[in-house]
Structure 1
């Protein structure tokens, strides 16, 4: 097995469960469901399941940081 093949086996998942997303964000799963319902955190249906693309967590954090930055500048 090459190094490239080994790194793909240990790579982080591209689609996260609500529980995994909650753990990464350090919040509860109920809060993640609320964020998904409000549209603040993007999710996709996968059959009967709901998954959150990993990059959407980063985008959500970046939006929060931008909003915090804007509110500090306005004050």
Structure 2
């Protein structure tokens, strides 16, 4: 099984948000992320899709 991992800049671009906003979403638990190695933060594409789906459901 493979899971696409996005860098912080890629996730920022996909959501069209600032770095500060993205890290706040991660800190609050609204957006899932993983740490690769010691310092590399990555956002699974599935976590990004889940977050967007949740936003759409909340808006409905």
1:12-57 CA-partner distances (Å, limit 9, x unpaired): x810111110001111111000000000000011112111001111
Q: Specify every segment of 5 or more residues in structure 1 that has no aligned partner in the other structure, as ranges.
A: 1-12, 70-75
1:66 aligns with 2:54: no
Task: State the Cα RMSD in Å.
Answer: 1.3
Length-normalised TM-score, structure 1: 0.71
Match of 2:33 among 43, 47, 53: 43
Aligned residue pair count: 57
Q: Specify every segment of 5 or more residues in structure 2 that has no aligned partner in the other structure, as ranges.
A: none
Match of 1:55 among 22, 35, 46: 46
Length-normalised TM-score, structure 2: 0.87
Larger Rg: 1
Misfit runs of 4+, over 3 Å: none
